[in-house]
Amino acid sequence: MIISREALKEFVILLPPGAGVTERFAAEELAKYVNRMTCVLLPLRDAAEGGGANRAFCFEIHPDESVRFDGFRISVKGEKVIFSATMPKGILNGVYAFLEENGCCWVWMGEANEVVPQREFLQVDEEVVSPALEFRGECIFSVCRENVEEVRTILDFLGKNRFNLLMTSVKRTEKRPGGWKVNWIDVEKELLPELEKRGIFLNISEHSGRWFFPVSLFEKHPDWFAMNKEGKRFSTGQICYGNEEAVEYLKNAYVAYAKSHPEVGILGTWPEDGYGFCQCEKCREGGVVLKAVNRIARALYEVRPDLLVEYLSYTRETSDVPPDILPEKNVITLVANTNVAKEWKRKSDLAGAKGVYRLHYHITDNTAERANLPLRTELTRKDCKEAVELGLRGIVPFYIGTDTWFRSNFNTFFLGKFCWDPEQDADELLKKLCVSCFPEFPEEAFSLFKALVELPRVDQFVPPPWKLWQEWPTLEKDYDGPEYEKVLSRMKGARDLLAKANEKCQKGSNAAERLVSAEKFIEFQEDMFASWHCRALAVKAFRKKDAPTVRKHIAEAARLEQKMKEAVQGKEEKKYGVCGAWIDYEFFIYWRVQLDKQLYEMRTEENKLPFIDMNPEVELFLPAMLNN
């Protein structure tokens, strides 16, 4: 069906009887973007008062066996366009799909980044569309009073890209001083309406343990807390899951919260973050955490049978699948490691429980990516396809931090598309993105972003305790000689493609801003590789016992580290969304520069200094190196 601009003036939007918040928001969004595309403002009417309208966009909620989850159907009856679904969220998804098919595009968040073309007509294609994965979400860091408006913008972006789940923490334990804050309880009044309008499911989980089981209990009940290998109880780790009274207290805390928060759809029972599990005799028994979660789940079912209770399969203590214990029927299992997903899915099916979905670390998580998140297209498609093949219900990545939005939004856009259809071709989807966002030079933009996706990155995935630079067997090979020359060639190729795009880009446009982001992305990779190249040269000089040359190269590495540090911290850089995630960057700069300092001092494994996460000497070392 083709609707001309003139014909559109006779159309209205009809809301169904008893339309809720999400349907009304869908109508408002449809009217808003149609107006921006065609300059025609569609009036909103309730079906009762506008039932006689011959030309209308209509919303219908009813059972439809061909529509799964929050999918939708778009059909044409006479001169009426019908958006139908089995739930209100499906109506909103259908509206955004219709707008996308008419040229709207939301790759990067914020109104300035929206693509809304001018149209002489709108095209309606009849279709039935359902997502391949039911749960499609993000776990955002930070969520707190200081960045509530930024989170509001991200939620709008997620809604437009047809995501349906926010994972957050009622009040997260801060890992490090000045670290990421997640404090939903402080912002829920402002942000809950944003979720309700968009039909986004609220998952209160993440590491909320200290909220439900506060450390203050330790004074009166030390036996409720974990025991170390020496037999001493301590308050900074997990609870003692083998202690009946401790689990009873935790159960009651979850029940009280669930009763008073009907808006929560999933309630997570995560342990603290991967450390300090109890070593008492009962806790060393297999499945002790799942037994405790099952006990909590049974109690929650009595007060909230609609609530999903989330069990996190994460560290060895929780990911090893107990052979003789099944999850309760209201338990949904969140797996951090897909190697155990199949077995957890089998156990969930046996129990008639709520299935399994995936917690993802490499799509929008700067921590897992060592504060240097890559752009991902085909890899994200493969992740979604794997989730479908494993029978998982969905994918929820960590989104850390919100200031790296250029990287994270790009990846989230592709995640959203592949969660709906993992069979799409990643390159074809990238081409469509470039046509929408860079209409003046789509071919040059495609070549550039294809190069950015494939751009080499420094491999920092070395587990603690970190070796000295001179003990890394591949450092010299990877960051000097032929391999490094290949990297330099790839970087130059990306810069050449950027120059071609800039030649055709209108100055001052939104496209020009995104090209600045692309340039900063390239520059950050260049500087990171250059700093590691300096370390490779320093190690070669170390082997010759050439201390002056070692120090010369480490001084240059320090200059590059300082440059990157300033880019990550710089306020003027924030609008480009590339060099952010300072808290994570700070953490990883510590270990790099500590190793630099030890190489500068010509230390070996035999006389190296102790390695600690937060070393005040490092803060003094960088500027001292630069001053020399």
HSE-up of residue 161 (Cα within 13 Å, Cβ side): 28
Q: What domains can be seen in the chain, in order of their start residue?
A: 2-129 (3.30.379.10), 138-211+264-275+286-430 (3.20.20.80), 442-627 (no CATH)
Q: What is the pLDDT of residues 259-270, one digit of tens each?
A: 999 999 999 999
Are 62 and 172 a contacting pair, CB within 8 Å? no
- Of 254-268, 476-490, 580-594, the range with the lowest mean pLDDT is 580-594
- What's residue 70's pLDDT? 98
C-alpha span between 199 and 120 (Å, rounded): 31
* Local structure of residue 276 (DSSP, 8 states): -
Question: Angle CA(508)–CA(511)–CA(515) in degrees, nearest 5?
Answer: 95
Burial (0-12, 13-18, 19+ Cβ within 10 Å), 392: buried
Question: Alpha-carbon dihedral of residues 173, 177, 180, 181, nearest 10 degrees?
Answer: 50
Distances (CA, A) of 607 to 527, 547, 597, 602, 610: 30, 16, 13, 10, 9
Q: What is the pLDDT of residues 589-600, one digit of tens each?
A: 988 999 999 999
Q: What is the pLDDT of residues 417-466, one digit of tens each?
A: 999 999 999 999 999 999 999 999 999 999 999 999 999 999 887 766 78
What is the amino acid identity at position 102? N
Mode of pairing for the β-strands spanning 121-123 and 2-4 = antiparallel
The confidence band for 51, taking pLDDT boundaries of 50, 70 and 90, is: low
Q: List the alpha helices (DSSP H) in 373-506.
A: 378-390, 405-420, 426-437, 442-453, 475-478, 482-504
Question: Angle CA(260)–CA(265)–CA(266) in degrees, nearest 5?
Answer: 100
- What's residue 174's pLDDT? 74
Quick one: which of 327, 326, 344 has its CA closest to 335?
Answer: 344
What is the amino acid identity at position 347? K
What is the amino acid identity at position 425? D
C-alpha span between 24 and 28 (Å, rounded): 6
How much is the mean pLDDT over the chain? 94
Q: What is the pLDDT of residues 144-178, one digit of tens each?
A: 999 999 999 999 999 999 999 999 999 987 777 77
Q: What is the pLDDT of residues 280-329, one digit of tens each?
A: 999 998 899 999 999 999 999 999 999 999 999 998 899 988 888 999 99
Q: List the alpha helices (DSSP H) in 471-577.
A: 475-478, 482-504, 510-543, 547-569
Question: Angle CA(313)–CA(319)–CA(324) in degrees, nearest 5?
Answer: 110
What's the length of the chain?
628
- What's residue 610's pLDDT? 84
What is the amino acid identity at position 211? W
Mean pLDDT of the region 175-190: 89
